[in-house]
Amino acid sequence: MTESAAYHFCPRCAHALVRRLNAGRERSLCPDCGWVHWDNPLPVLAALVEYEGKILLARNAAWAERIFALITGFMERGETPEEGLARELKEETNLDLQQSSLIGVYEFQRKNEVIIAYHVEATGTVQLSEELVDYRLVAPERLRPWRMGTGLAMADWMRARNLPVEFIDLPARIELHDPKAD
Phi, psi of 98, rounded to the nearest 5 degrees: -100, -35
Nearest approach in angstroms of CB 142 to Zn ion is 53
Q: Which residue of 3, 5, 15, 147 would you call a contact of Zn ion, by CB under 5 A?
A: 15
Nearest approach in angstroms of CB 30 to Zn ion is 3
Q: Does 139 bind Zn ion (CB under 5 A)?
A: no
Exposed, middle or buried by CB within 10 Å (0-12, 13-18, 19+), for 49?
buried
Q: Which residue of 3, 5, 9, 13 would you call a contact of Zn ion, by CB under 5 A?
A: 13
Encoded one letter per residue, x for contact with Zn ion by CB under 5 A and - for no contact, window 21-60 reads ---------x-xx-x-------------------------
Sign of CA dihedral 133, 139, 55, 48: negative
Looking only at residues 148 through 177 of this chain, which bind Zn ion when binding is defined by CB under 5 A? Answer: none
* Contact residues: Zn ion, CB under 5 A: 10, 12-13, 15, 30, 32-33, 35
